[in-house]
Structure 1
Amino acid sequence: MDRRPSTRTSDFASTLDAAIRERGLTLAELRRRLEHLGTPISESALRFWRTGARRPEHRHSLDVLDNLEDILGLGRGDLTARLGPSRRLRRSRADATDSIAGTPGVLQPLLETIGCVDLAELERLSDSVVIEIGADRRIRSASNRSLWRSRVEGGRRLMVPLSIDSPTESRPTISVRGAEEGRWAYDSATGWAVWELLLPRGLAIGETAVVEYSCTDIVDTEDVTHFACSAERRLAHAGLWVRFDGDPPRWNERIEEDDTGLSTSVISPMGSSVHRTVQDFGPGLFGLRWTW
């Protein structure tokens, strides 16, 4: 199957890349200007748009494009006119993996690299994620405790997809409990990686297992302003707890994105941390973002 971006999407990406180069701006500078204009977006999302690995889809993303055209000195519609019709389709079980990344074809090659067709052996029922932010405003550690249920007889393989903002050539170190680390695959062009974790034994259909994994050698080159979790299928319950070393950010917001679009709501910190929970959610993304 041809996994190259469509001609229209490639045209959008090449136009954006050329405009950024002509202006001599870094993605970090673009992100700061967009945030100042009230349309915050992650540096990784800008990188995906620029390379054609992901495309703007929802209302918020289109608002970002309007400001992006102004910042880059482009005419109104110079970017949006090159998007073409939306490629978002009703998600099926087969493409549930790449719905995490936002663009079909991004995660599937990584899964094939480590010998996995999809994420069908085990389904995630619940998630609890804890993020530690240091006084330098960088992520010190990220941990996840999740409950999995086997969908097949003998199921024991689960896959952990992760978007890595800072390019890396070495395999990040993760600490795993309840399973052992298997293979991994990473695509520096898109910033996505996939880990294989193996349970101690195969599960019977419907049997559950708890797995916990954490990562402490995370390299950030910019102040962290958001963290989002993905749900490739519907989750009964999930939570995200972000803890700050010192004073919390001055402004915090919940974010959710699924087939219905992007929704946000402002929240107040609890001491030096913020948290949020979702129930019966997915497929989609949920998370927190903040302003220092």
Structure 2
Amino acid sequence: MRAGLVQLNVTDDPVDNLRVTQDLVDQAVSAGAEFVLTPELTNGLSSDRAHQGSVFRHEEQDETLAALCAKAKLHEAWLLIGSLGLLTENADGRFANRSFLIGPDGNVAASYDKIHMFDVNVSETEVYRESQGYRPGQKAVVHNTPFGAIGMTVCYDLRFPSLYRRLAQAGADILTVPAAFNHITGAAHWEILLRARAIETGCFVLAPAQTGFHAETHGKGRRTHGHSLAVAPWGEILADAGTEVGVTVVDLDLSLVTEARRRVPSLSHDRGFDGP
């Protein structure tokens, strides 16, 4: 199965971002991709909550979701929209950070709300409180496709290995980690964590990423790490997109999932233990 990782440098304008994303999805399919993946917050990055509230839409009215569903149907391809920022009915006004798996019929096959919120002090000038703007999800998701079962996660989830173990033990062959990974933590931890999740679970890991400096009309902007990665079940890096916007295609041999788990069957070796 050939996958296409779309690497983006979005702004805070969903309309402009959609034009770029559609073009790159077309490029991925032209390169033979049967499964195309975009990064976290494909519709836009913004540090201004009021601006987010003015440009985000409810799922049923979201133009990015509708347009990319149409692209999947046009190309008869599977498409992971890494995530979209969406309005919700929450009384506190917090948004959803929701990942969508679109089938070749153009319909939403599965969706997943990011569980773990990025509330960190990266440095004195890099402070994030994702939970102030986004509500956390509560449900892990695995969805079967003709080429394998997909375990859906988003960005900061990557630091919580118990989630990935659960997904693998529930049958996932491929773990998706769309991200807008911070450039500081990305340089230090991105590759290591992705390879670890692949090795621990015996899964392929596909991680389409945001890259570069993201200009905002209503905020200070931010910088992301790039380096969309595809990692094999044994931990080898199959593809690294570097830091440029574009498409990276990679061929996956799903039999390697069975082989890796045969060699080290750790998913079946859990034991209870006493202590903290």
TM-score range, shorter chain: under 0.3
Q: TM-score, structure 2 length as denominator?
A: 0.28
Instruction: Determine which structure has more spread, i.e. the larger CA radius of gyration.
Output: 1
Q: Which one scores higher on RCO, CA 8 angstroms, separation ≥ 6?
A: 2
With normalisation by structure 1, the TM-score equals 0.27
